[in-house]
């Protein structure tokens, strides 16, 4: 019992900083969705069932321009394909949960993956830890979406800097992983490619894809050199 309480406490403390960023991003989602006149029931239900900031933001944007349901569903599936890899990596870490694995699998996101895999590498399988961080993020996301919906047109997300919450969340996820030469090489290569392409081709939609494909090659090169040394 004491060990379980300590795990819950640790999980909540470690999840809290990211939960704050998620809350800010959820506010932005709620505000933008309300401005798109989706309706409070749809907005909140989407947060409850989808639980994916990137997907929900894209859905709001696509609904605003009148995209078809088929194209919205296709885009949502593509955006969340990475969760298959996350789930495969986390499978052993939540294996002891047995009956509850399906529920924990629902909580696989970028944020829960980073914290969950870090915990697993140090302490081994810990479904309780994963469940607590998932619940913390889930509550923050649903409540912030609801709050954003209620304040609606009264708030400009850009004026209050809420639009920065999403990139700041991923920066917070990235920093703990910059502890090896290959990881640092990958990050700085991605930054260089992103800045270069944005300068040459401002607003190009392929920038993220190109950086995502090429930057890891730099990390692999550095790792290969370190093994040969």
- Least Cα distance to 213 among 189, 179, 195 occurs for 189
Mean pLDDT of 136-149: 94
Structure-token match 């140090």, residue found? 122
Q: Are residues 124 and 22 in the same domain?
A: yes
Q: Torsions phi, psi of 133, nearest 5?
A: -65, -35
Q: Are residues 151 and 101 in the same domain?
A: yes
> For residue 163, what are its two tokens?
């639009």
Q: Are residues 119 and 227 in the same domain?
A: no
Q: Is residue 63 within 8 Å of residue 36, measured between CB atoms? A: yes
Q: Are residues 89 and 41 in the same domain?
A: yes
> For residue 20, what are its two tokens?
């704050």
Residue finishing a domain among 147, 169, 191: 169
- DSSP for 129-197, written as a single string: HHHHHHHHHHHHHHHHHHHHHHHGGG--TTTTTGGGHHHHHHHHHHGGG--SHHHHHHHHHHHHHHHHH
pLDDT of 83 higher than 90: no
Q: Are residues 186 and 144 in the same domain?
A: no
Q: Are residues 65 and 34 in the same domain?
A: yes
Domain tally, the chain: 2
Q: Are residues 143 and 73 in the same domain?
A: yes
Q: Are residues 104 and 147 in the same domain?
A: yes
Residue finishing a domain among 118, 140, 169: 169
What is the extent of the structural domain holding 39? 2-169
- Least Cα distance to 19 among 118, 138, 151 occurs for 138
Mean of pLDDT over the chain: 84
pLDDT of 229 higher than 60: no
Which range in 44-48, 63-67, 111-115, 150-154 is most confidently predicted, on average pLDDT? 44-48
- pLDDT of 131: 93
Q: Are residues 160 and 199 in the same domain?
A: no
Q: Is residue 83 within 8 Å of residue 107, measured between CB atoms? A: no
Structure-token match 């920038």, residue found? 207
Q: Are residues 15 and 82 in the same domain?
A: yes
- Least Cα distance to 28 among 167, 132, 139 occurs for 167
- pLDDT of 14: 92
- pLDDT of 156: 65
Tally of residues, the chain: 229
> For residue 125, what are its two tokens?
């399988």
- pLDDT of 177: 73
Q: Are residues 117 and 144 in the same domain?
A: yes
The contacts of residue 16 (CB under 8 Å, 6+ apart) are: 136
Total-model pTM: 0.74
Q: Are residues 160 and 198 in the same domain?
A: no
The percentage of the chain sitting over the pLDDT mark of 70, rounded to a whole number, equals: 89
* Helix/strand/coil for 203: coil
């Amino acid at each position: 019992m004491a060990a379980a309480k300590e795990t819950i406490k640790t999980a909540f403390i470690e999840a809290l900083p990211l939960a704050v960023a998620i809350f800010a991003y959820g506010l932005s989602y709620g505000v933008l969705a309300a401005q798109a006149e989706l309706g409070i029931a749809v907005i909140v239900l989407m947060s409850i069932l989808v639980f994916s900031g990137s997907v929900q933001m894209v859905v709001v944007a696509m609904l605003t321009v009148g995209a078809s349901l088929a194209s919205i569903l296709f885009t949502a599936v593509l955006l969340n394909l990475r969760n298959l890899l996350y789930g495969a990596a986390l499978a052993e870490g939540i294996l002891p949960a047995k009956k509850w694995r399906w529920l924990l699998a629902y909580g696989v996101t970028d944020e829960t993956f980073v914290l969950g895999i870090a915990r697993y590498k140090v302490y081994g399988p810990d479904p309780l830890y994963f469940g607590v961080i998932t619940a913390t993020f889930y509550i923050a996301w649903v409540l912030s979406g609801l709050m954003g919906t209620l304040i609606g047109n009264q708030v400009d997300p850009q004026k209050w800097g809420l639009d920065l919450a999403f990139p700041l969340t991923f920066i917070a996820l990235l920093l703990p992983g910059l502890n090896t030469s290959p990881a640092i090489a990958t990050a700085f290569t991605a930054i260089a490619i992103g800045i270069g392409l944005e300068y040459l081709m401002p607003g190009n939609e392929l920038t993220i894809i190109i950086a995502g494909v090429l930057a890891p090659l730099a990390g692999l090169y550095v790792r290969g050199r370190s093994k040969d040394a």
